[in-house]
Amino acid sequence: MTSRLEPYRVSAYNTSKQSENKIHDDAVARRFGFSGGLVPGVDVLAYMLHLPVAKWGRAFLERGLIEARFLKPVYDGESANVTGVESEGAVAIEVESGSELCAAASASLPPSPPSFSLDDFIEAPVVAERKPVSANSYEVGKWLGTLPRDWAGDAAKEYLDDIREHDEIYAREGLGHPALLQRVMNKVLVDNAILGPWIHVGSRMQLLSAAKTGDQLTARARVTGNYEKKGHRFVELDALVVANGRTPLAHCRHIAIYQPREQAVV
């Protein structure tokens, strides 16, 4: 038995036009074969998260599971059409934009969140001095940390506005949007090396507790993969995102191209 969820449409917004990652800059992105600057993958994931949160509410924010792949770019100002089909307790989610399938995900609501111990995830400091990225920046088995970050008050509201999220649960219950946890995963890469243009391509996130507005967020991440594929350099992370140094919020697996292949100029 399958059922379709109410579709969701977003006018995509590139929140990172001014960021250090120039894959979000129109001119630089074109060197890599794109039409313009990419809307960040974490924000496309935020669009997808609207459906399971609308369906399961706070329960999803406390123990939901989502696994997403980013297939094609979503561009600033274009419509992102998010659809979901529920079957056997899971929701298959797709994002279409510009007549292309841009992202796909599966979301579900486990009966209880799995247990993770902080002791199993080493709290590592960020590097003393960031250096230009190389294969040594993300050695397999290496533990990486992040600088603490919070989104409190106006910053939390601004993020909801940026991702065009109007579900009242966040303001009503004082909760942080789960896509902010993915932003912390990006910080694992950014806080430990000076990157050129790079691309977030996939994530698996098991939520363990609802994030609260103003929580101080950090990640404890281990590098599980570092390899070349089709001329791109990939890194894979396994991490626990933690609130206030003591509360596990999410277990995340994160995949990014940290050195993309430039498109040949013809």
Percent composition of the chain: helix, strand, coil (DSSP 3-state, to 5): 25, 35, 40
Pairing of strands 90-97, 199-207: unpaired
Reported confidence tier of residue 265, pLDDT bands at 50, 70, 90: very low
The answer to whether residue 198 sits within a structural domain is yes
Segment 138-195, tens digit of pLDDT: 999 999 999 999 999 899 999 999 999 999 999 999 999 999 999 999 999 999 999 9
Q: What is the predicted pLDDT for the residue at 174?
A: 95
The answer to whether residue 45 sits within a structural domain is yes
Q: What is the predicted pLDDT for the residue at 264?
A: 45
Domain holding 195: CATH number? 3.10.129.10
22-36, 65-79, 145-159, 226-240: which has the minimum mean pLDDT? Answer: 22-36
Top pLDDT among 180 and 34 is at 180
The answer to whether residue 115 sits within a structural domain is no
Separation CA 54–CA 76 (nearest Å): 24
43 three-class SS: helix
Instruction: Report in angstroms the alpha-carbon separations of 143 from 46, 72, 121, 239.
Output: 27, 30, 8, 9
How high is the mean pLDDT of the chain? Answer: 93
| 37 Cβ neighbours under 8 A, 6+ residues apart | 14, 16, 17, 23, 24, 25, 26, 28, 29, 75, 76
Q: How many domains does the chain divide into?
A: 1
Torsion angle of C-alpha atoms 183, 186, 187, 191, degrees rounded to 10:
-160
Tell me which DSSP letter residue 138 carries. G
Separation CA 53–CA 44 (nearest Å): 15
Reported confidence tier of residue 22, pLDDT bands at 50, 70, 90: low
Pairing of strands 79-87, 8-11: antiparallel
Tell me the mean pLDDT in the region 7-33. 81
The answer to whether residue 266 sits within a structural domain is no
Reported confidence tier of residue 262, pLDDT bands at 50, 70, 90: confident
Domain housing 210: 2-110+120-259
Tell me the mean pLDDT in the region 69-97. 95
The answer to whether residue 63 sits within a structural domain is yes
Pairing of strands 90-97, 100-108: antiparallel
Q: What is the predicted pLDDT for the residue at 263?
A: 59
Tell me which DSSP letter residue 135 carries. G
Residue 244 in this model has a pLDDT that exceeds 90: yes
Top pLDDT among 260 and 254 is at 254
The answer to whether residue 233 sits within a structural domain is yes
Report the percentage of the chain scoring pLDDT > 90: 80
* Residue in 266, 260, 265 with CA at minimum distance from that of residue 73: 260
Tell me the mean pLDDT in the region 14-37. 78
Q: Residue 196: is it exposed, middle or buried by C-beta count within 10 angstroms (0-12/13-18/19+)?
A: middle
The structure's pTM equals 0.93
Q: What is the predicted pLDDT for the residue at 28?
A: 82
The answer to whether residue 265 sits within a structural domain is no
Enter the tokens of residue 51: 């459906």
The answer to whether residue 264 sits within a structural domain is no
